[in-house]
Amino acid sequence: MSGDMSYVDLIISASFVVQLVLLLLLAASVASWSIILKKRKVLRQAVTGSDAFESSFWSGGDLTAIYRDITKGGQAPGDMAGVFEAGFRAFRRLNEQAGLSAGQIVEGAQRAMRVAQMREMDRLDQGLATLATIGSTSPYVGLFGTVWGIMGAFSALGNVQSATLAMVAPGIAEALIATAMGLFAAIPAVIAYNRYADKVGRLEVRYDTFAEEFSAILQRHAHAAAGSAEGEL
Give residue 11's pLDDT: 73
C-alpha–C-alpha distance, residues 125 and 150, integer Å:
39
- Please count the CA atoms within 13 angstroms of the CA of 178 that sit on its side-chain side: 28
Give residue 100's pLDDT: 82
C-alpha–C-alpha distance, residues 43 and 222, integer Å:
34
Closest CA to 196 of 85, 38, 20, 1: 38
Give residue 12's pLDDT: 75
pTM: 0.82
DSSP tag of 8 = H
Give residue 2's pLDDT: 46
* CA 76 from centroid of its chain's CA atoms: 21
- Torsion 135-140-145-146 (CA) sign: positive
Domains of the chain by residue range: 7-40+82-232
Low-confidence stretches of the chain (pLDDT < 70) are: 1-7, 74, 156-170, 225-233
